Amino acid sequence: MGGRLRRAAGILLVVLLIGVARPAQAQEYSACWTAIEPDRYGFEQSVTRCRISGGNVVDYANDDSVPSRLYPNVGFDLSGECWYVTSIETNYQIVPLNPDGGAELVLIVDGSPGPSGYFRRCTSEPGVTVDPSEEAWDYVTSYVHPPPTPDLNPLPGDGITGLETYVGVPIPDVHETQLSSGTGATLDIHVEVSGVVVDWGDDRVDTFPADRVALAGYPDGAARHVYEVKDLTGYDLSISYAWTARWRVVGEDWESLDVPDTTTSVVYPVAEIVSVITD
């Protein structure tokens, strides 16, 4: 599906007539989409199914059979983002209409072409306010844990050049759930920490797998580093969870969510042991 478009308030409305122009009727259609119904012989056929504003659903042979002027719009049906037609004027134009029903829609802003995107035709009743990807995003960002709580050995203030500094980090469990969407569909949600990034603050950056053994800290953990140069003001040591999150309508392909890392920063002074020969 193409990129998400947003309706711009107060802009010039541009009319696109689907099919042959005909006088507008008093009856309004809030949405018309494509549905599959058996004909009188039992064979499947495509029909245009319309919701009369505030009333019933009526089937027509195709868009041209709807007794009203129709305009393209973008919404969300049970399978996600799609386009449909409505008798309410919109600010979208169809650029090409493909044989499979998909279409390139462009948003007209102040009389000029604006954002555009490719959309499939809606195959169930669409709504214009519910975006399942936003529902998934809201859920994932409410779940994502706070930044790591690292265990440092030696503790800040006790670091010494030439000796190993260890970082231990707890790893949250993989989280999987199902979410009921406002579209009527069920969403699969998968969230996990896919790695831990340690920036030691001296131009060394290491990425470790999200493995409790590797991030166990002192004395057996893999996240360890030797500082070669003292810095009593402190190195900027940071530890980040790298998140992987994805969602899908049950039975469809997964889609990724770009969740930012969560990071903890620590000022880590490093001293130097100096040998002194005394009498």
pTM listed for this prediction:
0.57
Q: Which CATH superfamily is domain 132-271 in?
A: Immunoglobulins (2.60.40.10)
Percent of the chain exceeding pLDDT 90 equals 56
Q: What is the pLDDT of residues 129-186, one digit of tens each?
A: 667 888 898 899 888 888 999 999 999 999 999 999 999 999 999 999 998 877 667 8
Q: How far apart are CA 177 and CA 191, in angstroms?
A: 9
Q: How far apart are CA 124 and CA 144, in angstroms?
A: 33
Q: What is the pLDDT of residues 214-268, one digit of tens each?
A: 999 999 999 999 999 999 999 999 999 999 999 998 888 999 999 999 999 999 9
Domain residue extents for the chain: 29-119, 132-271
Q: How far apart are CA 251 and CA 187, in angstroms?
A: 9
- Whether a cis peptide bond, with omega within 30° of 0, leads into 219 is yes
